């Protein structure tokens, strides 16, 4: 099965009533429903995936000086994928950012689409593709490393 993940930032100022009255229910240039969308197709077919709510996500990598880091981020929704070649992948979003989720399965094309609609009222960090963390939960040690102007 092919898995597509969609992370969509919902515009909290979108007015459905205005859209219904003036634009046959559709968004317009001045009344945008979604501010942006990131879509990812898992790089190879998957044999299984699980969505874990209230999970802990480990954000790991290297500082610019090649020193490794690893931080546990709590209250995350984590998508665990196992590909047909047994490669493991994770995608994650802070639970408080999720407005709603939707799963759409296309049997004929053997595709599953997972939609994560995100709230735009809380600032977030996007440290890598497919990972969205509340700014308040993002490790302070990494904020300092991003650029000297943040201090």
**Which of the 8 DSSP states describes residue 31?**
B
| Number of domains present in the structure of the chain | 1
**Which of the 8 DSSP states describes residue 95?**
G
pTM summary value: 0.85
Beta strands in 28-130 (DSSP E): 34-41, 46-62, 68-83, 88-94, 98-106, 111-119, 124-128
Q: Which residue has the tokens 């996007």?
A: 126
Containing structural domain, residue 33: 2-150
Q: What is the pLDDT along the chain (151 residues), one digit of tens a residue?
A: 999 999 999 998 877 787 777 877 777 778 888 899 999 999 999 999 999 999 999 999 999 999 999 999 999 999 999 999 999 999 999 999 999 999 999 999 999 999 999 999 999 999 999 999 999 999 998 876 544 443 4
């Amino acid at each position: 099965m092919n898995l597509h993940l969609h992370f969509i930032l919902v515009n909290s100022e979108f007015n459905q009533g205005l859209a219904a009255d003036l634009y046959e229910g559709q968004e317009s240039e001045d009344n945008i429903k979604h501010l942006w969308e990131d879509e990812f197709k898992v790089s190879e077919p998957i044999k299984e995936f699980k969505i874990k709510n209230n999970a802990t996500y480990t954000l790991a990598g290297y500082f610019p000086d090649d020193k490794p880091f690893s931080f546990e981020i709590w209250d995350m929704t984590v998508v665990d994928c196992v590909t047909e070649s047994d490669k493991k992948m994770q995608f994650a979003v802070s639970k408080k950012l999720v407005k709603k989720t939707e799963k759409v399965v296309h049997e004929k094309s053997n595709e599953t689409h997972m939609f994560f609609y995100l709230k735009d009222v809380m600032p977030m960090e996007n440290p890598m593709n497919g990972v969205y963390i509340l700014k308040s939960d993002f490790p302070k040690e990494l904020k300092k490393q991003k650029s000297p102007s943040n201090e």
